[in-house]
Amino acid sequence: MKSDIILAGVGGQGILSIAAAIGLAAASNRLFVKQSEVHGMSQRGGDVQSHLRISDRKIYSDLIPKGKADIIISVEPMEALRYLPWLSESGWIVSNSVPYVNIPSYPPAEEITAEIKKIRNSILFDAESVARDCGSVRSANMVILGAAAPFIGLPLTEIEKAVAGLFASKGEEVVKINLKAFRAGLTVTGRA
C-alpha cells in the first residue's frame, strides 16, 4: 500500500489538520508516514502546501516526485491547480470550489472551474456551505477530507477515528461538528 498526497490551501484554512488526521490514521494502521510542510509565511495569507506520503514500506524522500501524486486535496480551487505537475495520470483532485480572494489578480472563478474540470478524476464542490450546514464553516477542511477519504487507501473508520482524536482536546461539541462535516464530505463523493 502506498499513497502520495499533496495538500494545498491558503494559510489558516486548516490543511495541516487534514494532514494530521491522515497521518494519525496511517500511523495507527502501522504504516510509514512522512509529511513535509511549509511553515513561516503561512499566517500572512500566502499559499501553503504539504507533501504527505504513507506506505507499508520505508519512505525515503520527504518530497513527492512530479507526476506521482495519487491525490491533490485542496481547500481552495486555484491552489489545487498550482500543484498539477505533481498529479499522476490516474490521480484525483478533490477541491473546495469557493475561492479565497486576497490578491488583486485573482482569476475569474469560472475559468478556474473549467481548468479543474479538464482533469478526468476531479471532484469540485462548495465545501463551505456543506460545513455551514454541519454547524461551522470552519470545518470545511474536514468536509474536504471526507470527500477525499475513499481515495486515500485507508479504512474509512480509521480516518474517522483520527478526526475524533484530533479534536478531542477541544471538547465534545467540536468533535461532533467535525465528525458530521467529515461524514457529509463522504456523502458528496457518493461512496459513503
Could you say whether residue 5 binds another protein (CB under 8 A)?
no
Could you say whether residue 27 binds another protein (CB under 8 A)?
yes
How many positions of this chain bind another protein (CB under 8 A)?
52
Binding mask 157-186 for another protein (x = CB under 8 A): ------------------------------
Query: Applying CB under 8 A, which part among 54-62, 125-133, 142-150, 179-187 lies near another protein?
Result: 54-62
Binding mask 56-75 for another protein (x = CB under 8 A): -x-xxxxxxxxxxx------
Q: How far is the CB of 112 from another protein (least distance, A)?
A: 7
- Cell numbers at residue 40, please? 513561516
Distance between CA atoms of 116 and 44, rounded to whole angstroms? Answer: 26
Q: How far is the CB of 86 from another protein (least distance, A)?
A: 6
Residue pair 74/119 in contact by the 8 Å Cβ criterion: no
DSSP 8-state secondary structure symbol assigned to residue 61 = -
- State which residue, 85 or 190, has the beta carbon closest to another protein: 85
Residue with cell 494530521: 20
Which of 56, 106, 117, 191 forms a contact with another protein (CB under 8 A)?
106
- State which residue, 86 or 167, has the beta carbon closest to another protein: 86
Distance between start and end Cα atoms, the chain:
21
Cα within 13 Å of Cα(66), Cβ side: 4
Q: Say which residues have a Cβ less than 8 Å from residue 171's Cβ, sequence separation at least 6.
A: none
Q: Say which residues have a Cβ less than 8 Å from residue 106's Cβ, sequence separation at least 6.
A: 78, 99
Cα–Cα distance list, 25 to 19, 75, 101, 159 (Å): 10, 20, 32, 5
- State which residue, 2 or 129, has the beta carbon closest to another protein: 2
DSSP 8-state secondary structure symbol assigned to residue 13 = S
Could you say whether residue 81 binds another protein (CB under 8 A)?
yes
Residues at the contact surface with another protein, assessed by CB under 8 A:
10-11, 23, 27, 32-41, 43-47, 57, 59-69, 78-79, 81-82, 84-89, 91, 102-103, 105-107, 111-112, 115, 118-119
